[in-house]
Structure 1
Amino acid sequence: MPAHQLAPDVLAAEQTHLAESRAALQAMRAHAQSLSSDAAGDWVSQQILQSLLDQRVAALADHPDTPLFFGRLDRSMDDDLPSVIYVGRRHVHDGNSRPLVIDWRAPVSRPFYQASPADPMGVALRRRFGYHGGALTAFEDEPLNQGAELGPSRILTDEIERPRTGPMRDIVATIQPDQDEIVRAALAQTVCVQGAPGTGKTAVGLHRAAYLLFTHRERLARSGVMIVGPNRAFLSYISSVLPALGEVKVDQTTVAGLLGEHATPEDPMVSAVKGDARMAEVLRRALWLHIVKPEEGLVFSKGAYRHRVADYEVREIVASLRGTTRYGPGRAALTQRLAHLVLVRMEQRGESPDDRVQDAVARSKPVRQLVDAIWPKLTPEQVLYRLLADPEFLARAAKSDFSPEEQDTLLWRKPYRSWKSAKWSAADAALLDELGDLIERTPSIGHLVVDEAQDLSEMQLRALGRRCRNGSATVLGDLAQGTTAWSTSSWQAVLKHLGQDGEVTELTLGFRVPREVLDYAARLLPSIAPDLAAPRSLRPGAGSLSVRPDGELGRAVTEALTREGSIGVIVPDALAAEVSASLADVPHAVLGPDSTDEHRLLIVPATLAKGLEYDHVIVVEPADIVAAEPRGLARLYVVLTRAVTSLTVLHRKPLPAQLTA
Structure 2
Amino acid sequence: MPDVPPSDVLAEEQRYLDRARAELERMRLHTLSLTPDGGDAIADEALAWALAQRAAGLVDDPATTLFFGRTDHDGGERFHIGRRHVTDDAGDPVVVDWRAEVSRAFYRASRAEREGVVVRRRFGVEQGRLTAYEDEHLLATVAPDEDGRASAILAREIERPRSGPMRDIVATIQPEQDVLVRADVATTVCVQGAPGTGKTAVGLHRAAWLLYAHRDRLTRQGVLVVGPNHAFLSHIAAVLPALGEVQVEQSTVEDLVTRAADGRKAVLVRGEDPSDVATLKGDARLAEVVHRAVWSAVAVPRDVLPDGAVVVTRGTRRWRVPGYLVEDLLAELRSRGIRYEAARTLLPQRLAHSVLQLLEAAGDAPDDAVQDAVARSAEVKRAAKLLMPPQDPAKVLHRLLSDPDFLAANSEGVLDDAERALLAWAKPPRTPGAARWTPADAVLLDEVAEALQRTPSRAHVVLDEAQDLSALQLRAVGRRCSTGAATVLGDIAQGTTPWSARSWEEVLGHLGKPDATLEVLDRGFRVPSAVIDYAAKLLPRIAPDLSIPTSVREDPGHLDVVATPHPVADAVAVVAGLVAQEGSVGLVVAAAALEEAAAALTAAGVEFARLDRPDEDTPRRVALAPASLVKGLEFDRVVVVEPAAIVAGEPDERTGLRRLYVVLTRAVTGLTVLHAEPLPAELR
TM-score, structure 2 length as denominator?
A: 0.91
1:463-502 correspondence to structure 2 within 5 Å = 463-500=476-513, 501-502=515-516
Following TM superposition, by how much is the alpha carbon of 1:421 offset from its aligned partner in structure 2, in angstroms? 2.3
Q: Is contact 1:388-1:410 (8 Å) kept? A: yes
Q: Which moved more, 1:262-271 or 1:627-636?
A: 262-271
Contact 1:231 1:594 in 2 (8 A): no
Q: Is 1:555 the counterpart of 2:541 in the alignment?
A: no
Alignment of 1:272 with 2:293, yes or no, is: no
Partner of 2:226: helix, strand, or coil?
strand
CA gap of 1:456–1:89, structure 2 versus 1, over 3 A, is same
Q: How many residues align?
A: 652
Query: How far apart are the structure 2 equivalents of 1:632 and 1:146?
Result: 51
The change in CA–CA distance for 1:423 and 1:5 in structure 2 (over 3 A counts) is farther
Match of 2:607 among 578, 587, 603: 587
Out of 278, 287, 298, which is 2:294 matched to? 287
User: Equivalents in 2 of 1:593, 1:42: separation in Å?
Assistant: 48
Mapped contact 1:188–1:471 kept (Cα < 8 A): yes
CA contact (8 A) 1:126 1:144 kept: yes
2:179 to 178, 181, 186: 181
- CA distance in structure 2 between the aligned counterparts of 1:352 and 1:44, rounded to whole angstroms: 45
1:17 maps to a residue whose letter is: Y
Q: Which amino acid aligns with 1:89?
A: R
The 10-residue stretch of structure 1 (365-374 or 301-310) with the greater mean CA deviation from structure 2:
301-310
Following superposition, the deviation at residue 112 of structure 1 comes to 1.0
473-482 or 642-651, which deviates more: 642-651
The structural deviation recorded for 1:187 is: 0.9
Q: What amino acid maps onto 1:23 in structure 2?
A: A
Q: What is the match of residue 8 of structure 1?
A: 7
**How big is each residue's C-alpha offset from its partner over 1:273-303, in whole Å with a ceiling of 9 and x where there is no partner?**
1212122222211211121211122334567
Paired position in structure 2 for 1:201: 199
Q: Distance in 2 between matches of 1:485 and 1:150?
A: 43
| Counterpart in the other structure of 2:104 | 110
In the alignment, structure 1 residue 132 sits paired with structure 2 residue 126: yes
TM-superposed CA distance for 1:305, in Å, is: 4.9
1:483-519 per-position Cα deviation (integer Å, ceiling 9, x unaligned): 1111001011111111111121111111111111111
Matched, 1:638 2:662: yes
2-structure distance, mates of 1:384, 1:592: 31
Q: What SS does the corresponding residue of 2:632 show, helix, strand or coil?
A: coil
Q: Closer, same or farther in 2 for the Cα pair 1:5/1:626, shift >3 Å?
A: farther
The one-letter code sitting in structure 1 at the alignment partner of 2:396 is: V
Q: Secondary structure at the match of 1:192?
A: strand
Q: Which amino acid aligns with 2:671?
A: L
Task: Give, in whole Å, the separation in 1 of the partners of 2:90 and 2:284.
Answer: 58
Equivalence for 2:263: none
SS in 1 for 2:349: helix
2:331 and 2:192 map into 1 onto residues whose CA distance is 46
SS state of the match for residue 335, structure 2?
coil
Q: Deviations over 1:420-449 (max 9, x none)?
A: 322322222222222212211122221111
Distance 2:351 2:189 in 1: 47
> What letter is aligned with 2:517?
E
In structure 2, the CA distance between the partners of 1:543 and 1:61, relative to structure 1 (3 Å rule), is closer
Post-superposition offset of 1:574? 2.6
Report the secondary structure of 1:583's partner residue.
helix
Alignment of 1:200-349 (within 5 A): 200-260=198-258, 262=269, 264-295=271-302, 296-301=308-313, 305-324=317-336, 325-342=338-355
Distance in 2, matches of 1:17 and 1:284, equals 63
AA in 2 matched with 1:518: I
The answer to whether residue 425 in structure 2 is matched with residue 412 in structure 1 is yes
Partners of 2:107 and 2:234 lie apart in 1 by 28
Please identify, of 586-595 and 198-207, the stretch whose mean Cα deviation from structure 2 is larger. 586-595
What TM-score results when the alignment is normalised by the length of structure 1?
A: 0.94
Name the % identity: 53
Quote the residue 1:607 is aligned against: 628
- Aligned-partner Cα distance in 1 for 2:183–2:679: 43
Distance 1:119 1:390, change over 3 A: same
Q: State the Cα distance separating 1:50 from its structure 2 match.
A: 2.0
Q: Does 1:533 pair with 2:547?
A: yes
Give, as a single letter, the amino acid of the residue that structure 1 aligns with 2:598: S
> Of residues 420, 434, 437 in structure 2, which corresponds to 1:424?
437
Q: Is the 8 A contact 1:64 1:134 kept in 2?
A: yes
State the SS of the aligned residue for 1:467: helix
> 1:627 aligns to what?
648
Unaligned runs of 5+ in 1: none
Measured in 1, the distance between the counterparts of 2:426 and 2:13 equals 71
Greater shift, 95-104 or 392-401, is seen at 392-401
Residue 391 of structure 1: CA displacement? Answer: 1.9
> Are 2:531 and 2:557, in contact at CA under 8 Å, matched by a contact in 1?
no
